[in-house]
Structure 1
Amino acid sequence: MRPLTEAETTALFGKLANYIGKNIVHLIDREEDPHVFRLHRDRVYYVSEANMRLAVSISRPNLMSLGVCFGKFSKTGKFRLHVTCLDYLAQYAKYKVWIKPNGELPFLYGNHVVKAHLGRITDDTPEHAGVVVLSMSGVALGFGVTARSTVDTRKLDPTSIIVFHQADVGEYLRDEDTLF
């Protein structure tokens, strides 16, 4: 477990900025309980400083995970967010998409969100922006990237893709071997 390098921090914050924008400050500047990002086995963890100091006494091969896994770095150096950070993304997200109950299950199986399943969308959402996908009752289901802006979605037919799927809570069951 080690601190992130400058390049790794830039990749992580670039990806997070796509979803939560300037709200990254709320993740880092927590005066009551400071948190840090740490790298362990190509995975980035978000952990409180107190727990990080306690984990130093555990040897690296014996440490499975620590805190919340925000994502992992690929062998080429690209960063990919995991569904395990969804609670933080949903809390601080700039743009949100609510889908109808008939669209929840297809999204949880890994499909994109089509216009027929769209319930609401945040105003002025640009094209290719990171969005958190919520059910109509406000439960976070996953996250993705918009295919069209809010203005363009009004003109599309019901089978057009609105949000490209990135991750959903169904991955806890589908990919449980590779999440941690």
Structure 2
Amino acid sequence: MRALTEDETKQLFDKLAKYIGPNTKHLVDRKDHEWVFRLHKNRIWYMRKELAKLASCVAKRNLMGIGILIAKVTHNEHMRIQVTALEQIAQYAMFKIWVKPNQEQSFLYGNHITRAGLGRITENTPQYQGVAVFNMADIPIGFGVAAQGTLQCRKCEMNTTVLFHEADVGEYLRDEARMT
């Protein structure tokens, strides 16, 4: 487990800024404890600094994971934000989309959201902006990219895609089913 390099940190914050914008500073500057990002086995973890110090005593091959999994580094050195980062994204997201109950299950199966399933959208959401996805009970269920801006959503047809799916809480179940 090691600290992120400057390039890795920049790349991670650029990815996170797609969803939470300038609120990325809140991930590092927290009042409760000092939090850090660490790289372990091509995964970026977010944890309290005290926990990182304790984990340094564990052998690398014995350490499975620690803290909150934020991103995975691919073999091409790209970062992919994981669904386990949903709590942080939902908490600090600048733009949000709420999904109607009839399309919630479809989204949890990995499908895009159409205009017919759109409950609400944050005002002034730009096109291709990263957004947090909530159900109508304000429970975060995933995140994605807005295929249409707020104004375009009001004018488009009901079968037009308004959100491109990126990750959802149903991934755990789909991955488990694939593994067995």
Q: TM-score, normalised to structure 1's length?
A: 0.96
What is the aligned partner in structure 1 of residue 164 from structure 2?
164
- Kindly report which structure 2 residues correspond to 1:9-24, keeping only aligned pairs within 5 A, or say none: 9-24=9-24
1: CA distance, partners of 2:116 / 2:142: 18
What is the aligned partner in structure 2 of residue 66 from structure 1?
66
What is the aligned partner in structure 2 of residue 128 from structure 1?
128
What is the aligned partner in structure 2 of residue 48 from structure 1?
48
Deviation at 1:77, TM superposition (A): 1.2
Amino acid at match of 1:75: H
Amino acid at match of 1:11: Q
Amino acid at match of 1:8: E
2: CA distance, partners of 1:25 / 1:2: 21
Amino acid at match of 1:26: H
1: CA distance, partners of 2:177 / 2:55: 23
What is the aligned partner in structure 1 of residue 31 from structure 2?
31
Considering only aligned residues, what root-mean-square deviation do their CA atoms show, in Å? 1.2
Deviation at 1:176, TM superposition (A): 4.2
- Kindly report which structure 2 residues correspond to 1:94-113, keeping only aligned pairs within 5 A, or say none: 94-113=94-113
Q: What secondary structure sits across from 1:163 in the alignment?
A: strand
What is the aligned partner in structure 2 of residue 175 from structure 1?
175
Amino acid at match of 1:116: A
- Kindly report which structure 2 residues correspond to 1:79-90, keeping only aligned pairs within 5 A, or say none: 79-90=79-90
What is the aligned partner in structure 2 of residue 138 from structure 1?
138
Q: What secondary structure sits across from 1:70 in the alignment?
A: strand
Amino acid at match of 2:133: V
Q: What secondary structure sits across from 1:154 in the alignment?
A: helix
1: CA distance, partners of 2:19 / 2:45: 18
Alignment length, in residue pairs? 178
CA-to-aligned-CA distance 1:83-122 (integer Å, 9 cap, x gap):
0010010000000000100010000000001100000000
Gapped regions of structure 1 (runs ≥ 5)? none
2: CA distance, partners of 1:149 / 1:116: 15
Deviation at 1:177, TM superposition (A): 8.9
1: CA distance, partners of 2:79 / 2:36: 17
Segments of 4+ moved more than 4 angstroms: none
What is the aligned partner in structure 2 of residue 153 from structure 1?
153
2: CA distance, partners of 1:175 / 1:78: 21
Deviation at 1:32, TM superposition (A): 2.6
Gapped regions of structure 2 (runs ≥ 5)? none
Distance 1:176 1:12, change over 3 A: farther
